[in-house]
Amino acid sequence: MPLVLDDTIAAPASPPGAAERGIIRISGPQMLSIVRSVFRPGSGFEQWMNARVPSRFPGVADIPSLGVPLPVQLMLWPTRHSFTGQPMAEFHCLSSPPLMDALLERLFECDARPAQRGEFTMRAFLAGRIDLLQAEAVLGVIEATDHEELQQALTQLGGAITSRLVSLRADLIAVLGDLEAGLDFVEEDIEFITREEIVRRLNIARQTLHSLLADAEQRLPSGWKRRVVLAGLPNAGKSTLFNRMVGSHKAIVSPIPGTTRDYLSACVSLVGGSQELEIELIDTAGCEDAADLIMDRAQQIRGQQVNSGDLIVWCRSLQLNSQELAEDEQLRRSIETRGLPLLHITTQCDLATKTAAHPNHRTGSGDTITQSDLAVSAMTGEGIDLLRQTIIGRLIEQKSARGELLATTAVRCRDSLTRAISAIESAIMSASAGSGDELTAMDLRESLHELGVILGDVCTDDILDHIFSRFCIGK
Amino acid sequence: MSSGFSYDFDVVVVGAGHAGTEAALAAARMGARTALLTMNCDTVGQMSCNPAIGGVAKGQIVREIDALGGEMGRVIDATGIHFRMLNSGKGPAMHSPRAQADKKAYQFEMKHRVELQENLSLRQETVEAIETEHGKVTGIRVSGDAVYRAGAVVLTTGTFLKAIMHTGEAKAEGGRAGDKAAHGVSGSLKALGIELRRFKTGTPARLNGRTIDFSRCEPQPGDQNPQPFSYMTDRIAQTQISCYLTSTTPEMHRIIRANLHRAPMYSGQIQSTGPRYCPSIEDKVVRFAEKETHQIFLEPEGRNTQEVYCNGISTSLPRDVQDQIIRLIPGCERAEITRYGYAVEYDFAPPTQLHPTLETRAVEGLYFAGQINGTTGYEEAAGQGLLAGINAALKLQSRGPLVLDRSNAYLGVLIDDLVTKGVDEPYRMFTSRAEYRLLLRQDNADRRLTPLGIQLGCVTAERAERFREYEREIQRGQEALLKYRSQGQSLEEWLRRPHEGWEQLYTIFPQLEELKLSERAREQLKIETQYAGYIRRQESEIARLQKVESVRIPDTFDFLKVTQLRHEAREKLTRLRPTTVGQASRVSGITPADIAVLMFYLN
């Protein structure tokens, strides 16, 4: 995001579409002059011209293109004391898309600039109005898909985690201060803090951190790891492929269709090219019983983890007869129409020589078999590396935001909390063993640094880029 | 300019205390023709307050000064009467050398070394004004119608600028009991646009040792095997004198409380800030009311004097109260005071007006070092003097400046703190100010800094050779530790065990004797081996921070234009002008959000 902070931005702050109320927000140094050229108060002109504190003004917006004045309520924050730390205002009006568009355009004519994704929140963050956790929570509120998620986001926005961490940090700083005093003022006949007291307080800190970590883990909707689901008709070689990729014989493999009745999953570290990605690989039961209706099959697939997959690897054996091919085609389409991310592969290609004369293959069977289908053999290992690379590539490129409520925070928190805990544990160890206060102090400093990362104390470009690129405009 | 005498030098240093002597010696060592001006040639290198050099964090600084060729370490090694390694029960990073000096011997030794230094002229002069042209320093005007012309001036005025001493209700002008104050310089600095503020510090009474009953006090002997401060000193040969420990009493506290209204700090007669970590006995009694006694160290001031320094009861109470309370100290029932304690108020220049080279922003070629920068302590002063002297010489030679990293030296921490954070009370070094304490040890100051000193030409050839030989020893040792194995483990792994030492290694592996490692090299190898894990962690942290740390802020950068910065941040950064984002992030009151804004703008 380009960082221009001294111009004035405007954008809708309510969801698009018709609704009872629509909000357009405007923020920046020229807010007042822009708003004045658009808005007329219904009464209280004096107060309007001299407003110094946040106030609400009923009135109208003059929009030449509309022909008639548009009734609006104006919420005005005339000074830096606003959400964005800049002069800011909100037009509340009927949420009719043409009206909203007309008002926005009028604001743009008056030199407001369309806000970019996350720009209001970024200004709020940069003005010190909200911390990183809260900034991320704004994203959570925007993206919340159900009530529970919304509650979680709102709690975070209210600073619930922040306040727990802030007091934890304050206590750690107190312990560290006492420790440091003992190191620097060796000639005083004062015992600044006893070893037992250090260990006791660090243990409390450790417990608090553990409970926060548990929270963070729960916020990861699908255990955070990207889920890659192997799907396809029975006996398409999914389990053999699964075993090949997991590197163990976790799935029972047999030539009998329908061997995999439930689903199996394993965490796999995919290495492809220069990249490495942790995924959860899921082997589903084949979509069996060719006699069933397509609809039923589709439901079955839904029940088989396919829906929750970040990527569905559709496995189709090279050895299919024309009926199986048609079935495969239909099932695959049903997944595609639901908008699920799909990767087509052809399995069991080691059998290619044997089946070179296979009629369906030879005829090409329409558009479902294309040259771009990735051919693999779990038996010989052919194409597996390419498959790994392709999966990584697809996962990185699709960056789906869906279902990742607060995942940014959660992942960032989890990593820092884990490191903070291990630093605290190391501090507890060195304190209990009496191996040196200076070593305990070093561990404590490290855990404080990690807490700083969560609270936004330490901002690297990367963290900011990552967060702010995920905000939608107007919040 | 009026007619009169004028002298031409490269560098003029004003003040010959701990900062001034190091500054002048360093500049002269680097080939600059240097004049050292003092109000009184008999007080060169004088220890105005306590008779000790070193201590926790301060001892490490003395080692660093020594590693860069400074004088303090060698002088205290020659004149110390009581040596202790503080914190020796803790890990090596905490080991801190401290010594009591024979005060007079110390200052005479320092003066003698100043006199012996090539390129250095010691002069007794009273400075009247700093001369400048077009924002550049041109010299120093002294009374008697004379001017010392120079391209660089180092000002080390200590506690002498507009100094006022307080003992109870009594006030007297003077920077130290028995000495005058300096008046001309303050006005001259103000005229140059340099802001001045007031600090205060205090000193306790001195007693006649003949009148103290030491049998009622607890003796504090020096170490059996005293460790020298200087890497050039092989061993401390002189006999040591014991210090004594006694304490205040509840009755003494009662009398102090009853007379608080007569203490200048409490009567409002003094309003400037004093150090919190070196409180007067009045402060201790008020702020720690629950404590019934406080420690007092009775420290002899020399071999040829009976005077004893009462460390722990710095005071500015009136004479009659001092007489009364001293006699309530166990062992001091019949003690006679030779000098009363007093507080001194003086001008200092808030150090945020300095570049990290200690050159002032306002006047090119003008450097400040020591208490004028709001610090306290002989060691802090000497370290700044050394760096100011080196930087003055480097500038005149058109060479790049010497700015030490926080990760490389306590001196780096000291100067970075001063110029970026400023001071709210007299600044003293603590180990907790250093992020990389485990790296900044007294045992490796030479390994951290002497290579720099060799490169800059501020250490002697003799020191350079000794250092190289030591490094070769360590190299040999390291190779052997990795090469030889016993019971499936390398000797390095053996040495890493907490209870193993070289004695055991020699028994396992007698060939090691052939390496002829000195005790110091063996000790260094053992520390590096045992601390290795922690050292690696700190080093990786340094590398991680280097990214933000090293983002430079151009000199022309206008913080006021960054309207999105909070008003306070804009104002602070404009005033302090940090040169890197790392520095900016350490400015008090600057939030991570401010740094984020700054980073965006700089990109």
Contact A5 B566 (CB under 8 A): no
Let me know: does B437 contact A438? Beta carbons within 8 Å. yes
> Which of B441, B564, B567, B586 is best to mutate for the A interface (most A CBs within 10 A)?
B564
Contact B87 A437 (CB under 8 A): no
Let me know: does B364 contact B358? Beta carbons within 8 Å. no
DSSP code for B427: B
- Beta bridge partners, A113, equal A9
Q: Of B56, B437, B603, which is closest to A186 when you measure between CB atoms?
A: B56
CA-CA distance, A431 to A205, in Å (whole number)? 14
CB atoms within 10 A of CB A368: 16
A125 to A113, A121, A167, B461, B561: CA distances (angstroms)? 20, 6, 21, 56, 19
- What chain A residue is nearest to B585 in terms of C-alpha separation? A458
Res A214 pLDDT > 80: no
Q: pLDDT confidence of B258, banded at 50, 70, 90?
A: very high
Q: Is residue B542 part of a domain?
A: no
Look at residue A452 in the predicted model and tell me its pLDDT. Answer: 74
- What chain B residue is nearest to A177 in terms of C-alpha separation? B432
Contact A187 B86 (CB under 8 A): yes
- What chain B residue is nearest to A2 in terms of C-alpha separation? B600
> Which of A195, A442, A449 is best to mutate for the B interface (most B CBs within 10 A)?
A442
Q: Of B431, B438, B564, which is closest to A184 when you measure between CB atoms?
A: B431
- The per-residue DSSP string of A5-44 comes to -SS-EEEE-S-SSSEEEEEEEEESTTHHHHHHTTEEESS-
Of the given ranges (B172-176, B400-404, B464-468), which has the lowest mean pLDDT? B172-176
Look at residue A139 in the predicted model and tell me its pLDDT. Answer: 61
Let me know: does B13 contact B24? Beta carbons within 8 Å. yes
The whole domain housing B295 covers 206-342
Beta strands B342-348 and B164-167, pairing class = antiparallel
Helix (H, G, I), strand (E, B) or coil at B50: coil
What CATH code is carried by the domain that includes residue B560?
1.10.150.570
> Which of A4, A426, A459, A465 is best to mutate for the B interface (most B CBs within 10 A)?
A459
Amino acid at B525: L
Topology of A9-131 in CATH? Gyrase A; domain 2 (3.30.1360)
Q: Are residues B148 and B29 in the same domain?
A: yes
Helix (H, G, I), strand (E, B) or coil at B437: coil
Helix (H, G, I), strand (E, B) or coil at A272: strand
CA-CA distance, B163 to B468, in Å (whole number)? 46
Q: Is residue B544 part of a domain?
A: no
Of the given ranges (A83-87, A266-270, B89-93, B156-160), which has the lowest mean pLDDT? A266-270
Q: Are residues B305 and B417 in the same domain?
A: no
Backbone dihedral angles phi then psi of residue B337, each to the nearest 5 degrees: -80, 130
Contact A437 B90 (CB under 8 A): yes
Q: Is residue B384 part of a domain?
A: yes
Q: pLDDT confidence of B440, banded at 50, 70, 90?
A: very high
DSSP code for A303: I
Tell me if chain B has a CB within 8 Å of the CB of A457. yes
Q: Are residues B350 and B278 in the same domain?
A: no
Domain A157-219+405-455, CATH: 1.20.120.430
Let me know: does A123 contact A377? Beta carbons within 8 Å. no
Give the total number of structural domains in chain B.
4
Look at residue A467 in the predicted model and tell me its pLDDT. Answer: 33
Contact B563 A29 (CB under 8 A): yes
Q: Domain boundary residue among B455, B486, B516?
A: B455
- The per-residue DSSP string of A244-267 comes to HHHTS--S---SSTT---S-EEEE
Q: Are residues B563 and B596 in the same domain?
A: yes
pLDDT in tens, B541-591: 788 777 667 788 888 888 888 776 777 788 888 888 888 888 888 776 676
CA-CA distance, A265 to A444, in Å (whole number)? 38
- What chain B residue is nearest to A457 in terms of C-alpha separation? B592
Res A294 pLDDT > 50: no
Contact A5 B94 (CB under 8 A): no
How far is B201 from chain A, CA to nearest CA, in Å?
Answer: 19
CA-CA distance, B4 to A451, in Å (whole number)? 65
Backbone dihedral angles phi then psi of residue B218, each to the nearest 5 degrees: -95, 120
Backbone dihedral angles phi then psi of residue B348, each to the nearest 5 degrees: -135, 165
Q: Is residue B324 part of a domain?
A: yes
Q: Which two tokens stand for residue A193?
A: 């803090």
Where do runs of H (alpha helix) occur along B164-293? 184-191, 250-258, 264-267, 281-287
Q: Which helix (H) or strand (E) holds B166?
A: strand B164-167
Helix (H, G, I), strand (E, B) or coil at A143: helix
Res A359 pLDDT > 60: no
Beta strands B34-38 and B120-124, pairing class = parallel
- What chain A residue is nearest to B596 in terms of C-alpha separation? A459
Topology of A226-398 in CATH? Rossmann fold (3.40.50)
Q: Which two tokens stand for residue B31?
A: 């080939």
Which residues fall within 8 angstroms of residue B263, CB to CB, at 6 or more apart?
Answer: B168, B280, B282, B315, B316, B317
Contact A126 B86 (CB under 8 A): no
Q: How large a percentage of chain B has pLDDT more than 70?
A: 97
CB atoms within 10 A of CB A391: 25
CA angle B211, B217, B223 (to 5 degrees): 110
Res A259 pLDDT > 50: no
- Domain locations in chain A? 9-131, 157-219+405-455, 226-398
Burial class (CB in 10 A: 0-12, 13-18, 19+), B24: buried
> Which of A184, A430, A437 is best to mutate for the B interface (most B CBs within 10 A)?
A184
Q: Are residues B375 and B239 in the same domain?
A: no
* CA-wise closest residue to A228 among A355, A324, A352, A314: A314
Contacts of A460 in chain B (CB under 8 A): 547-548
| Stretch 176-195 of chain A: residues touching chain B, C-beta under 8 Å | 180, 183-189
Q: Residues A387-408: what's their mean pLDDT?
A: 61
Look at residue B458 in the predicted model and tell me its pLDDT. Answer: 94
Helices then strands, each counted (H, E), chain B: 20, 24
CA-CA distance, A145 to A424, in Å (whole number)? 36
Contacts of A85 in chain B (CB under 8 A): 564, 566
Q: Domain boundary residue among B300, B322, B342?
A: B342
How far is B520 from chain A, CA to nearest CA, in Å?
Answer: 22
Q: How far is CA A422 from its chain centroid?
A: 25
What CATH code is carried by the domain that includes residue B527?
1.10.10.1800
Residue B118 falls in which region: left (phi positive, over 0), alpha (psi -120 to 50) or beta: beta
pLDDT in tens, B46-87: 999 899 999 999 999 999 999 999 999 999 999 999 999 999
| Dihedral, B336, B339, B341, B344 alpha carbons, nearest 10 | 180
- What chain B residue is nearest to A176 in terms of C-alpha separation? B432
pLDDT in tens, A131-183: 666 766 666 655 555 555 555 665 665 556 667 777 888 788 878 877 887 78
Of the given ranges (A87-101, A115-129, A250-264, B260-274), which has the lowest mean pLDDT? A250-264
Amino acid at A59: G
Computed over every residue of chain B, the mean pLDDT equals 91
Measured on CA atoms in the order A415, A417, A422, A423, is the torsion positive or negative? positive
Contact A445 B538 (CB under 8 A): no
Q: Residues B519-534: what's their mean pLDDT?
A: 90
Res A230 pLDDT > 60: yes
Let me know: does B375 contact B381? Beta carbons within 8 Å. yes
Q: Is residue B545 part of a domain?
A: no
Q: Are residues B107 and B50 in the same domain?
A: yes
Q: Are residues B76 and B194 in the same domain?
A: yes
Q: Are residues B337 and B352 in the same domain?
A: no
Q: Is residue B508 part of a domain?
A: yes
- What chain B residue is nearest to A86 in terms of C-alpha separation? B564
Backbone dihedral angles phi then psi of residue B180, each to the nearest 5 degrees: -80, 175
A93 to A14, A53, A59, A67, B209: CA distances (angstroms)? 11, 22, 10, 17, 89
| Stretch 390-449 of chain A: residues touching chain B, C-beta under 8 Å | 436-439, 441-442, 445-446
Q: Are residues B195 and B81 in the same domain?
A: yes
Q: Of B438, B534, B593, which is closest to A128 when you measure between CB atoms?
A: B593
Q: Are residues B321 and B303 in the same domain?
A: yes
Q: Is residue B112 part of a domain?
A: yes
What CATH code is carried by the domain that includes residue B279?
2.40.30.260
Contacts of B295 in chain A (CB under 8 A): 187-189
Contact A442 B86 (CB under 8 A): no
Look at residue B585 in the predicted model and tell me its pLDDT. Answer: 81
CA-CA distance, B456 to A53, in Å (whole number)? 61
Residues of B with CB under 8 A from a CB of A: 55-57, 86-87, 90-91, 93-94, 96, 277, 295, 297, 430-432, 435, 437-438, 534, 537-538, 541, 547-548, 563-564, 566, 591-597, 599-601, 603
- Beta bridge partners, B172, equal B165
Look at residue B266 in the predicted model and tell me its pLDDT. Answer: 82
Q: Are residues B262 and B274 in the same domain?
A: yes
Let me know: does B135 contact B364? Beta carbons within 8 Å. yes
* CA-wise closest residue to A225 among A149, A281, A301, A307: A281
Tell me if chain B has a CB within 8 Å of the CB of A62. no
Q: pLDDT confidence of A352, banded at 50, 70, 90?
A: low
Q: Which two tokens stand for residue B477?
A: 């040792």
How far is B90 from chain A, CA to nearest CA, in Å?
Answer: 6
Q: Which helix (H) or strand (E) holds B520?
A: helix B519-530
Beta strands B295-300 and B485-486, pairing class = unpaired
- What chain B residue is nearest to A84 in terms of C-alpha separation? B564
Look at residue A303 in the predicted model and tell me its pLDDT. Answer: 52
Q: Which two tokens stand for residue B137?
A: 């320093």
How far is A198 from chain B, CA to nearest CA, in Å?
Answer: 17
Q: pLDDT confidence of B207, banded at 50, 70, 90?
A: very high
Q: Are residues B399 and B524 in the same domain?
A: no
Highest mean pLDDT among A115-129, A238-252, B46-60, B562-576: B46-60
Q: Is residue B540 part of a domain?
A: no
Same fold, A9-131 and A226-398: no
Of the given ranges (A382-396, B34-48, B379-393, B441-455), which has the lowest mean pLDDT? A382-396
Res A474 pLDDT > 50: no
Q: How large a percentage of chain A has pLDDT more than 70?
A: 63
Which residues fall within 8 angstroms of residue A459, CB to CB, at 6 or more apart?
Answer: A132, B592, B593, B595, B596, B599
Q: How far is CA B78 from its chain centroid?
A: 19
